[in-house]
Structure 1
């Protein structure tokens, strides 16, 4: 799965700012409503709790953390490919290359 951070960030910034709170609905038995969002949204408990947990500040913090992690990986990659990398065993070499290859296949976007 490729995650488009720019798109997610734009959606989070355009949304009603959090924090959001899921509360039991007074209108519908078994439904929940989110406070902090207009209009009020009603849906099932797991969906509502999920929506409330991923308010814009939370999504923006996750995006920032992921971007920092990606930067770190790219710095390690640059260091690893440079003349500054230390002499390592063949096993260590294969291990780091495997980690970077996994990142390239699963996480880069």
Structure 2
């Protein structure tokens, strides 16, 4: 639903330099895949095996070293080294700096868009129950509500 609105926003504001190139770039992030990988991986937070949380040999999850913990990735301090589960390795590879920077850029763009919507003002033409036209100023939450209602109507028609 949000992706539809972002695409609509980009096409409606193609002349606005801040929106269209950035929005098209952000559509490349596969959030469903990243979410599935995160859910399949060992729950975090992950930390190193040193007291200060840095890594000497292992990356661990849980209350290390005083409680229950699980080794996520073992260094050269044992016979088995590398990631203990394929799901953890897949997640670590997917959560690379490029993916994280793209997610940060998307969050920032969405926050900026939210701020613009919440502080924005538009004038709409509405009709009362008698069919008479009225001009309505929409700001902040009214604008957001209007967009949500329009999106719901579009979804019903699809």
TM-score range, shorter-chain basis? 0.3 to 0.5
| Higher radius of gyration, 1 or 2 | 2
Greater strand share, structure number: 2
Greater helix share, structure number: 1
- Which structure exhibits the higher relative contact order, with contacts defined as CA atoms closer than 8 Å and separated by 6 or more residues? 1
With the length of structure 2 as denominator, give the TM-score of the two structures: 0.29
